[in-house]
Amino acid sequence: MPVEERMQPAHHFSPELASLNMGSMNFGLYEMLKRFKEFKHDWEHPYLVESDDRIFKNTFRDIAHILESCSANDTRFELECYDINHLYTASHFLDRGLLKTPLFIQSVFGLRGGIAGHFEDFMHMRRTADRLFGDGYQWSVLGAGRNQMNLGAMSVAMGSNVRVGLEDSLWDGPGKLAASNADQVRRIRTIIEALGLRVATPEEAREMLGLKGKERVNF
């Protein structure tokens, strides 16, 4: 099963696979002010303070423009779904013919403004995706912060995929910062193999996700 090791912004376009948030939403990081009193850079404190008034804008028109603009080069999308309504938005664009199966649904849990990280939230997201897309999608789970490994392990145990990396969590365990993405990849790989499973090769992952292949990527 694919394991993603990466650090990237919300809209990171590559010729082969691009991340796309499936809607506008609030992103609130201000609660981190309770945990940190000292900051290394001047921008960090005001960035957190102002996050209670921050909206990530991605309207239906925005999403349609992105999908239409990238269709000519066969770009496939990681559809980042931060709540149940984002699954319905993905279904809407599938009905409009701007998306095609197999969809790659990346469910994101544990960020303020989106769905929480409780196992009931996890199962609600999975059941809804199954009902909307049947066997026409691949599911992957992103657990933010302390949710990363426990929700990742649940996803793997259910036969689905998992994303880990420093974009989503800085930790490699309670009170222990990860030195790199590789720390978190090694930990989730240990979980995968302990369950009798294995990590997919890049070629297998491309086939599972319906990607166009590295020979058609210009780097």
Residue 1 in any domain: the answer is: no
Residue 191: give its domain's CATH number: 3.20.20.70
Q: What is the pLDDT of residues 53-79, one digit of tens each?
A: 999 999 999 999 999 998 877 788 999
Residue 79's DSSP bridge partners are 20, 105
Residue 84 in any domain: the answer is: yes
Q: Domain of 168?
A: 15-25+57-213
Name the domain count of the chain.
1
Q: Is the dihedral of CA 90, 96, 98, 100 positive or negative?
A: positive
pTM to 2 decimals? Answer: 0.85
Residue 2 in any domain: the answer is: no
Q: What is the pLDDT of residues 137-174, one digit of tens each?
A: 999 999 998 899 999 999 999 989 999 999 999 888 88
Would you give the end-to-end CA distance of the chain in angstroms? 24
